[in-house]
Amino acid sequence: MPGDGARAVVSGRVATQAVDRAITAEQVAFAAKDEGNTAAGWAALAANEYSFLGKAALETLPGGVLIHDGKLDAARLEAARSTLGNVTARLARAYGVMPADAWAVVASVSSAVRSTYHGDVTAGRMMSLRFNDAPPKDPTAAIRQVRWFVSHEVTHWWDTGVLRTDMDRPWIHEGHADWMAGLLMLDAGQTDTATWRADMDTALNNCQFARRDRPAATLPSGFNRDDDPYACGHVTWLLAQSQRPR
């Protein structure tokens, strides 16, 4: 229940009153038996779904809302805001469908984020964008990183939402999101061909280092230390693209 002046955001919808979530006995029983071993088990209790409760600033955008804590600098916030709108519209045109219902994105800054940024998309069209609190050393590079980062996360609204994927094979959807982020930025003139090719070379090298000669079918399901699902998935989509009739 939101307090005075606060909001709750659940499944992309904003509320100022109490929000009730009903879970059936069958879902509880399945989740208890599964013990969180699979994505389906977490989903049964909506345990894999973000929700937001607080008083942070909220902006209404076409299709959803952007919530931010006021700590993210104006340049990176604007890069995130514009990328959300542009990429959502472009993917809707590309796939011919929008995510069902509203979406919500929560952008925050924290010293707990060890890398430059970290993001997640969950069921209910909720997205978390978390940034490290250190000021960017290279503002231009930081803007490019934000655009790529948000493009990657927005793609998940399609490849793990509108369209279905094998959640136990993360290289499929993570690689697709990396691949689409690069193409979207290249198409928008936000990166150049040389940089795009360099990113592909990096993905190829990282995948070769991680997997060596092991076929994807022999790898254990889920994320594991002996694999790089982002790089190898990126390479997989490059190979798939190369097989398309010209």
| pLDDT above 70 for 170 | yes
221 neighbors 168 (Cβ within 8 angstroms): yes
Q: Is residue 162 part of a domain?
A: no
Task: Report the distance separating Cα 187 and Cα 220, nearest Å.
Answer: 35
Of 23-27, 147-151, 168-172, which has the strongest mean pLDDT? 147-151
* CA 60 to mean position of chain CA atoms: 20
Residue 26 resides in a domain: yes
Q: Is residue 163 part of a domain?
A: no
- Look at residue 183 and tell me if it is in a domain: yes
User: Of 137, 159, 180, at which residue does a domain stop?
Assistant: 137
| 26-40, 135-149, 192-206, 210-224: the lowest-pLDDT one | 26-40
> Do 180 and 98 sit in the same domain of this protein?
no
103 and 223 housed in the same domain: no
Distance CA 6, CA 218 (A): 49
Domain co-membership, 132 together with 184: no
Beta-bridge partners for 120: 128
Q: Note the pTM of the prediction, 2 decimals.
A: 0.82
Sign of CA dihedral 193, 85, 5, 124: negative
Residues 11 and 131 in one domain: yes
Is residue 15 in a domain? yes
pLDDT at 11 over 80: no
The answer to the question of residue 1 being in a domain is no
pLDDT, position 40: 62
Q: Write down the pLDDT at residue 190.
A: 92
- Do residues 107 and 184 share a domain? no
In a domain, 151, yes or no: no
Region 198-212: mean pLDDT is 88
pLDDT in tens, 87-117: 999 999 988 888 777 888 999 998 888 888 8
Q: How much is the pLDDT for 90?
A: 93
Query: Which structural domain range is residue 185 located in?
Result: 170-242
Residue 126 pLDDT > 90: no
The last residue of a domain, from among 137, 158, 190: 137
Average pLDDT over residues 141-163: 89
Residue 177 falls within a domain, yes or no? yes
- The answer to whether residues 176 and 132 belong to one domain is no
pLDDT: which is higher, 216 or 129: 129
Structural domains counted in the chain: 2
The CATH number covering residue 70 comes to: 3.40.30
* Domain match, 75 and 28 both: yes
